[in-house]
Chains A and B, each alone.
Chain A
Amino acid sequence: MKLLAATNRYYLLLATVLFTVGSVLLYYGVRWTLQSEVEERLFQQRDYLREQVQRTGRLPGTPFEGRMQLSAKPQPEGLRDTLLLEPLENELEPYRQLTFRLQLNGQTQWVSLSKALLETYEVQRLILLLLVGVLGTLLLGVVLLNRWLTHRLWTPFEQTLHQLQGYDIRQHQVLQLPVTRIEEFAQLNHTLTQLSERVAADYATLKEFTENAAHETRTPLAIMQAKLEQLLQLPDLPAPAGPLVGDLYAAVQRLARLHQGLTLLSKIENQQFAATQPLPLAELLREKLGQLEEFMQQKNLQLDVQISAEPVLLMHPALADSLLSNLLHNAIRHNQLGGLLRVQLSATELMITNAGPALTAQQEPAQFFERFRKQNAASESPGLGLSIVQSITGFYGFTVTYGYAPDPPRHTLRVRFGPAASAR
């Protein structure tokens, strides 16, 4: 529920209760007042009549606009409501009647004075209508004003919220929040701006550190590699030292590869491959397959290439190359002697299926995309291939899924191109 709706709900509830109670009280109050007025007039007339009768011994004419009835029969004394026939309009109208005893010419007479209530009803209605109207308008006005005000006052908050939703740390931006006169929002914005500044600074530091670390580790690696190579050239290097240095050399190579892979991953995450160009994927795929031909022959793989479309993707050439390389290398490395390697390219997806070792029950397909996750722990590969694939596909809004069919074991990696794809 929106904050506005939540507060309005309580306001409305209170206003409705007050409005109802107020209206009822008003109704009875006005009615009581007007009726008292009528009764007072009746009592005045009675006193006047009594006084006149005492003084003159007879009833005065009809000095009252109201009605007066005389009756010799005893009547219940006091005030009562009654309906009397209005001769002009020939219909019954409400009257207030006061009945009392009067000694007239030695006889006891019962006098009933009546006063029409119709006027008081009209006055009552008018007052009620006016007041209810004013109250209603006031209520409506308050609700509308509240709604408008809230909307206006909360605008800076909504803008802040909107900014936060769109905030991406990788843009290296500090939040640009609107200036507001409301102190609480100003404080909120101030705090958020500070927070984003701190986060942006931390992120920049971290990124700089990663870059520097990447850069600085390259030189020692180069030194190690160069020195080992020099060591191998020594003419009097004892024979047993050869394999030792060879192993060291291979280890340095692995480290260099690992370094390369991690640097690539962090570069993709830092969005350092913004430039794109239209790439004919089918062409690139054929080229890659050509380069890998020997390695497929080495394993005697049955290559099955099905290219049914020539999609052109907007990508950075280095990333497109890395994507295809990693997918194909993965499919060749984990293949068996004489195994199947099927490559299917359509306008919307690339599917690479390879034969390989059967998965055990504990192996979760999602894990293969994790860094350093290897099917064979002793493998020399750094285990970054599929992480890189996932990172690249994620960067371009593609999706990559892993599928496995157990009999015979078939591993399938399916890359679905996103909106960046456009058919030639």
Chain B
Amino acid sequence: MKLLIVEDEPALRTSLVEYLRQDGYVVEAAASYEQAHEKIKLYQYDCVLLDLTLPDGNGLDVVRTLKADRSPAGVLIISARGALDDKVLGLELGADDYLAKPFHLSELSARLKAIIRRRQFQGQRHLLFQELTVFPDQAQVLVNGEQVLLTRKEFDLLLYLLTHPGRVLTKESIAEHVWGDAADAADSFDFLYTHLKNLRRKLQEKGVGDYIRSVYGVGYKFSAE
């Protein structure tokens, strides 16, 4: 998997590069519109992460170029503008997804995986973890061929954990990923705990090991260790 990150802010760029390299991607970075344009003309990428406000040009033009070249690359826009119009325009031009700054790195990686999954694995889209087999599109979980019945939220929760094996996931990022803005209505993250408890119980009933670990004061981690 080869990614191109177009981001002019060096500190954010290095974080993105490091985080995604740890996820096992081959990552290249461009700091300006000029560099980005050159790279997409020269190489093929599976997905381009694109900041819209670049010092020497508009990131939307990169999307236009990609579409004009009929590139198979997925496009994930990360923008500081967050304006609704930018979002609509970006998606209309053919970007796959849009994320406003600031964002959770884990959320970014989850969105990236979803884009790649949609574009690359045609037909055979499933994730494996130990004895778990997860079909994201069918929202199905199989344990040794046997189906585990989960609610939609529990499934989303599991999928989010599963796409970040070994990573510490903050409560905030999990809540935002699964519940979106609605999480604001709660005055604590207790609801998260309740849902995780149910998920854990349902998986253990089917004989799945306890992979959900809580990280004190931070959040959770999905790990076989």
- Residues of chain A whose beta carbon lies under 8 Å from any beta carbon of chain B: 215-216, 218-219, 221-227, 229-230, 232-233, 239, 242-247, 249-250, 252-253, 256-257, 263, 291-292, 294-295, 298, 318, 325, 328-329, 332-333, 379-381
Contact = CB atoms under 8 A, between A and B. Distances in A.
Interface string B165-191: 001101111000001111011110011
A328 B185 contact: yes
A225 B102 contact: yes
Contacts, number: 116
Contacts of B182: 291-292, 295, 325, 329
B185 A233 contact: no
Contacts of A257: 184
A229 B215 contact: no
A292 B185 CA distance: 8
A223 B19 contact: no
A246 B217 contact: yes
A233 B218 CA distance: 11
B105 A230 contact: yes
Interface string B1-12: 000000001011
A231 to B, nearest CB: 9
B15 A227 contact: yes
Contacts of A233: 19, 22, 167-168
B202 interface: no
B187 A380 contact: yes
Interface stretch (B29-37, B80-88, B120-128): B80-88
B133 interface: no
By CB atoms of chain A within 10 A, which of B100, B102, B170, B218 has the most? Answer: B102
B185 A332 contact: yes
A294 to B, nearest CB: 6
A219 B210 CA distance: 38
B16 A215 contact: no
A225 B104 contact: yes
Nearest to A260: B82
Contacts of A239: 216
Main secondary structure of the interface of A (DSSP, over half): helix
24 contacts: A215-B53, A218-B102, A219-B12, A222-B80, A226-B19, A226-B102, A227-B15, A230-B15, A230-B105, A233-B19, A233-B168, A239-B216, A242-B216, A242-B217, A243-B216, A246-B170, A249-B170, A250-B172, A257-B184, A294-B179, A295-B182, A295-B191, A329-B184, A333-B187
Nearest to A332: B185
The 10 closest A-B pairs by CB, nearest first: A243-B217, A246-B218, A222-B102, A226-B15, A222-B101, A221-B102, A218-B80, A329-B185, A246-B217, A218-B101
Contacts of B219: 246
B86 to A, nearest CB: 11
B130 interface: no
Contacts of A253: 172
A246 B172 CA distance: 10
B153 interface: yes
The residue in A215, A225, A226, A292 that gathers the most chain B C-beta atoms within 10 A of its C-beta is: A226
